Amino acid sequence: MTSARSELVLGIESSCDDTAAAVVRTGREILSSVVDSQIAEHAPFGGVVPEIAGRSHLRAIIPTVDRALDDAGVSLDDIGAIAVTERPGLIGSLLVGLCVAKSLSFARKLPLVGVHHIEAHAYAATMEHPVDYPTLALVVSGGHTALYRMDGPGELTKKAQTLDDAAGEAFDKVAVMLGLSYPGGPSVSRLALEGDGTAIRFPRYRAKDGKPGFSFSGLKTAVLYHLRGQDALRPTPPPEEIENKADVAASFQEAAVDTLVTQTLAMAEQEGLGTVVVSGGVACNARLRERMTAAADERGMRAVFPSPAYCTDNAAMIAGLGWHRWQSGQLAGLDLDASAR
Amino acid sequence: MNSGSVLAIETSTRTGSVAARFGARRGVQQLEGERAHAIDLLPRIEALLAELASDACAAALDSIERIAVGIGPGSFTGVRIGIATAQGLARATGAALVGVPSFAALAFRELAVGEDAATVFDARAQRFYFAHYRRTRVGLETLAAPIAIRAADLATRVHAATRILGDARVATLKELDAADRERVETGAIPRADAVLDLADLLPRDASAARTHALEPMYLRAFGEL
């Protein structure tokens, strides 16, 4: 094994609706990152359909791995280890990436590393912007909204999580109410640009007993009741009959972002942490990036975001964190299993 | 044609298995239970290669020319585990990949030359997987390719078959004639050694398809699930 070879990790990610592969050197230098998105296949259903996801992953996985190797200008012979998302996610989706990763590892006698998807998201923010540990990590996406104390790459301790919906899920649901396209994050924030975020005062989650946390179910319901003219028994108007759609989108986004910023920074203060890394699909949201950065600045803290391409699901973060796991000898066997949680 | 090394994988049912042939040596191993397919498949392949190959396991794997895999119909997740694993192995070793209908493997193993059988298994959601095969002197003739149909549509199709290979659910179906219900032979399932045998019968160019172009026999679009 040459030294150059031993520094390259092939990462494979298939936990939800993106088939992804990447080649990363020494946990940081991204040689390639390929993401094959299934958004168009799930869009008619307004959300991810597990069986469709499993079928799509199987069709896409080998071409995606091949493209990642091609884009990096390397072959399987140059790879030193294989990292794969083992949890959490849709089990039928995870298994596709896992089986391919394990068989490549077995046939090529390459070390295999299992990576936790959320830990990798938190790690993603530190690939482009080195941080001093400990730091606080907010992972916010369509499936997760949680705060972690991060003591090193992949060393996470959960401090708080949403009591109900994930923030991205709330964006998806509001998008459906407003007749916007799936996924809801980009479509709601695009419409919000044309609206007034102060037009409607939607509720913000307030920390109970001084413990920061999140909840987005009440906010979603508040938007629904607003559309029904505050009469819960009235039918929800069809999207084309909603008048101030842009104001609703902007005011909803403002409330969601407000909750994320306030609770995250409150936790950072409680924990005495000066840096906040934000990742996951919702970290692409421009308003969140702007407000979190400004609010952290006011408190003498630093907010760090990955580039948008590395906020959403990708395999570069899997290969990146996989490198650290590999270097510290945390290897998996051929009996590695996937787990939904 | 039967001299090359072949690895076969069959994971469409709860009882999965792997088989291999190196020259004159053949072997088959059974997986441990349904949930374990993803966990157990590669360790079993490793054990099988160690048992059969005189060389080191890695060398044995590299000498494999074809990888045959059962593509269903059956458990969607089970078949995906088998195909994804076969794809990864084929990609890493350069071996050719061959998809074999799991029902064909079942019929091939159970039937004597000249016999025909319907293969019928519960597909859930009020559907049943059905196919009809005849064993010939040189191989297997497909009289009806696998489909997913309602119980009501099974009766006449099953009636026409000499033998009925099915599961316990099929043996209790009210929609079948009482006499046909009694003819249902339960217990037999697709096995990897039969997948291997059938792959041998397929022409070489049948495995020339690109590694990723192998689809499970879902037989149902998502909307029909």
Domain co-membership, B162 together with B146: yes
The fold of the A132-305 domain, in CATH, is Nucleotidyltransferase; domain 5 (3.30.420)
Answer whether residue B78 is part of any domain: yes
How close does chain A come to B32, measured CA to CA in Å? 12
pLDDT at A3: 47
Question: What is the distance between the alpha carbons of residues B88 and A204, in angstroms, rounded to a whole number?
Answer: 48
Three-class DSSP category at A259: helix
Domain co-membership, B51 together with B109: no
Of residues B167, B149, B13, B148, the one with CA closest to residue B76: B13
What ipTM does this complex have? 0.93
E-state strands within A18-111: 18-25, 29-37, 81-87
pTM equals: 0.92
Contact residues, chain B, for A65 at CB < 8 Å: 91
Six-digit token pair at A94?
């995870």
- For residues A133-155, give the mean pLDDT: 94
- Which residue of chain A is at minimal alpha-carbon distance from B225? A51
pLDDT of A94 higher than 80: yes
Of A62, A107, A337, the CB nearest to B211: A62
Domain co-membership, B89 together with B121: no
E-state strands within B53-126: 66-70, 96-100, 116-124
Q: Count other Cβ atoms within 10 Å, centred on residue A307.
A: 13
Q: Do domains A5-121+313-327 and A132-305 have the same CATH topology?
A: yes
- Residue A78 corresponds to which amino acid? D
Q: Which residues of A71-87 are buried (b: 16+ CB within 10 A; e: fewer)?
A: ebebebebbbbbbbbbb
Question: What is the distance between the alpha carbons of residues A23 and A32, in angstroms, rounded to a whole number?
Answer: 5
The CATH number of the domain holding residue B54 is 3.30.420.40
Domain co-membership, B48 together with B94: yes
Q: How confident is the model at residue B10 (pLDDT cuts 50, 70, 90)?
A: very high
Question: What is the distance between the alpha carbons of residues A336 and B124, in angstroms, rounded to a whole number?
Answer: 29
Q: How confident is the model at residue A5 (pLDDT cuts 50, 70, 90)?
A: low
Which has more pLDDT, A5 or A235?
A: A235
Angle B188-B189-B191 (CA atoms, 0-180°, nearest 5)? 120
What are the extents of the domains in chain A? 5-121+313-327, 132-305
Say whether B88 and A99 touch across the interface (CB within 8 A): yes
Of residues A290, A298, A261, the one with CA closest to residue A276: A261
Q: How far is CA B93 from the centre of its chain?
A: 22
- For residues A281-305, give the mean pLDDT: 97
The CATH number of the domain holding residue B143 is 3.30.420.200
Three-class DSSP category at B141: strand
Domain co-membership, B24 together with B85: yes
Domain co-membership, B49 together with B137: no
Contact A80, A3 (CB under 8 A): no
Domain co-membership, B200 together with B95: yes
Contact A317, A124 (CB under 8 A): yes
Domain co-membership, B72 together with B170: no
pLDDT at B2: 57
Contact A140, A260 (CB under 8 A): yes
Backbone angles phi, psi at B129, to 5 degrees: -85, 130
pLDDT at A70: 98
Answer whether residue B36 is part of any domain: yes
Is 3.30.420.40 the CATH number for A5-121+313-327? yes
Mean of the per-residue pLDDT values of chain B? 89
B113-163 pLDDT, tens digit per residue, is 999 999 999 998 889 999 999 999 999 999 999 999 999 999 999 999 999
B39-68 pLDDT, tens digit per residue, is 999 999 999 999 887 665 656 788 899 999
User: What end-to-end distance do the CA atoms of chain A give, in Å?
Assistant: 36
Check residue B168 and report its DSSP letter.
Answer: T
- Sheet with A145-152: list strands edge to edge: A155-161, A145-152, A135-140, A275-279, A302-304
- Which residue of chain B is at minimal alpha-carbon distance from A332? B39
- What residues make up the domain containing B167? 103-186
> Which residue matches tokens 């094994």?
A1
Domain total for chain B?
A: 2
pLDDT of B211 higher than 60: no
- Which of B5, B18, B87, B220 would best serve as a mutation to test chain A binding (most A beta carbons within 10 A)? B87
Q: How confident is the model at residue B208 (pLDDT cuts 50, 70, 90)?
A: very low
Answer whether residue B221 is part of any domain: no
Q: How far is CA A111 from the centre of its chain?
A: 26
Of A58, A335, A337, the CB nearest to B80: A58
pLDDT at A182: 86
- Which residue of chain B is at minimal alpha-carbon distance from A77? B92
pLDDT of A134 higher than 90: yes
Of residues A40, A38, A37, A13, the one with CA closest to residue A24: A13
Domain co-membership, B148 together with B90: no
- For residues A223-237, give the mean pLDDT: 91
Q: How far is CA A177 from the centre of its chain?
A: 23
Question: What is the distance between the alpha carbons of residues B33 and A16, in angstroms, rounded to a whole number?
Answer: 26
Domain co-membership, B97 together with B108: no
